[in-house]
Amino acid sequence: MIERVLAIETSCDDTSVAIVDRTGWVHSVVAASQDLDHEIYGGIVPEIAARNHSIALIPLIEEAFKKANMNWSDVQGIAVTNRPGLIGALIVGLVTAKSLSQAKHLPFLGVNHLEGHLLAPFLRDDKYAPPEDFGYPYVGLAISGGHTSLYQIKGLGDYRILGATKDDAAGECFDKFAKMAGLGFPGGVRVDQMAKTGNPEAFEFPRSMIHDDTFDMSFSGLKSSGQRMIEQLGPELVQERLPDLCASFQEAIVDVLIAKLDRAAKVFRSKRVILTGGVSANSRLRARAQEWADKKGYTLVIPPLRYCTDNAAMIGYVGALRMARGEVSSLDLGPSPQPLVTDFR
């Protein structure tokens, strides 16, 4: 029986390894950030991400065991993200998982990264546990640099995609705006910081699709509008008005996300709602979502930052549950960029 797995996540620019129980208990989670290596290019360079994963991964696996005070005899399987993500980056994790699976005579399972994000609220450690009344079904908004999608989550492997961005992801929009405004990379957290002293009503930005009766979203219009605004103002005024610009731009994204969440919770009569993915670290979004949930009487769960951003613990949890159900991948499993959620089942 699978009780505990070693998990590997290398889908984007964070190398992460964790040791996780089927109950969601995280014994250890370790990561190597590559932000500094990509910063000079103003965005993630896939080839650099893959190379860094291959350097960081084996030492991180050793560190994860050491931190958990465990060794190979304490895990019964290996979970690894095999989709979606940067192909070269995924290959590093996948090849490592396959090799270790052979060498250590352990089964391995490829896990969908998005499924990891959606079940992250169930993780637990000595500082975090989901609220007592949290469980299936719930509505989940996964918001990161690569995806912005809304789901109904009814149980393990039982997901329904309600809507998604038609173009850019919310995180990408934050990152591009930050780059154009001269804030550098990664942008989301810098816009968040800068916005703290700004006026969210100072500048007018579009909220595309906010009133349409689907769960879909669009952020490319907002991105172009941000670019136009920055060009019109010119470098000096942009510098001067940066807090107001960031607060107003951020508010447009937050308004759309909350509106879609509200609609989904209402239509699906869901009292439980989660936010997950890197953008759920945004302080304004967290505050506005909590305000909204309190007003409506919903239980809102936003996992702590270490489980919201890309991490191997969420991959380990999904992997352990699925492997306990008897699922195993074969050695011919490949990586896939496919962001579809319909392949969860």
The contact set with ligand KG4 (CB under 6 A) reads 12, 144-146, 171, 174-175, 186-189, 192, 277-279, 281-282, 309-310
User: Rounded to the nearest whole angstrom, what is the least distance from the CB of residue 118 to Zn ion in the complex?
Assistant: 11
To ligand KG4, the closest distance from the beta carbon of 216 in angstroms equals: 19
Kindly write out the interface string for residues 201-240 of this chain, putting x where it contacts Zn ion by CB under 5 A and - elsewhere: ----------------------------------------
Using CB distances below 5 to 8 A depending on partner kind, what does residue 93 bind out of ligand KG4, Zn ion, none? none
Distance in angstroms (rounded) separating the CA atoms of residues 75 and 3: 8
Footprint on residues 302-331 left by Zn ion (CB under 5 A): 310
Residue closer to ligand KG4 by CB (options 135, 304) is 304
Q: 261 contacts which partner out of Zn ion, ligand KG4, none, CB within 5 to 8 A by kind?
A: none
174 binds, among Zn ion, ligand KG4, none (CB under 5 to 8 A by kind): ligand KG4
For position 9 contacting Zn ion by CB under 5 A, the verdict is no
Would you say 29 and 313 are in contact if contact means Cβ atoms under 8 Å apart?
yes
120 touches which of Zn ion, ligand KG4, none (CB within 5 to 8 A by kind)? Answer: none
Is 144 a binding residue for Zn ion by CB under 5 A? The answer is: yes
Q: How far is the CB of 55 from ligand KG4 (least distance, A)?
A: 20
Residue 70 vs 161, nearer CB to ligand KG4: 161
Residue 81 contact partner, candidates Zn ion, ligand KG4, none, CB within 5 to 8 A by sort of partner: none
For Zn ion, the closer CB: 240 or 343: 343
Give the residue with the Cβ less far from Zn ion, 299 or 336: 336
Helix/strand/coil (H/E/C) assignment for every residue in the chain: CCCEEEEEECCCCEEEEEEEECCCEEEEEEEEECHHHHHCCCCCCHHHHHHHHHHHHHHHHHHHHHHHCCCHHHCCEEEEEEECCCHHHHHHHHHHHHHHHHHHCCCEEEEEHHHHHHHHHHCECCCCCCCCCCCCCEEEEEECCCCEEEEEEEECCEEEEEEEECCCCHHHHHHHHHHHCCCCCCHHHHHHHHHCCCCCCCCCCCCCCCCCCCCCECCHHHHHHHHHHHHHHHHHHHHHCHHHHHHHHHHHHHHHHHHHHHHHHHHCCCCEEEEECHHHHCHHHHHHHHHHHHHHCCEEECCCHHHHCCCHHHHHHHHHHHHHCCCCCCCCCCCCCCCCCCCCC
Binding partner of residue 130 among Zn ion, ligand KG4, none, CB cut-off 5 to 8 Å per kind: none
At closest approach, how far in Å is the CB of 256 from ligand KG4? 14
279 binds, among Zn ion, ligand KG4, none (CB under 5 to 8 A by kind): ligand KG4
The binding site for Zn ion (CB under 5 A) comprises 144, 310
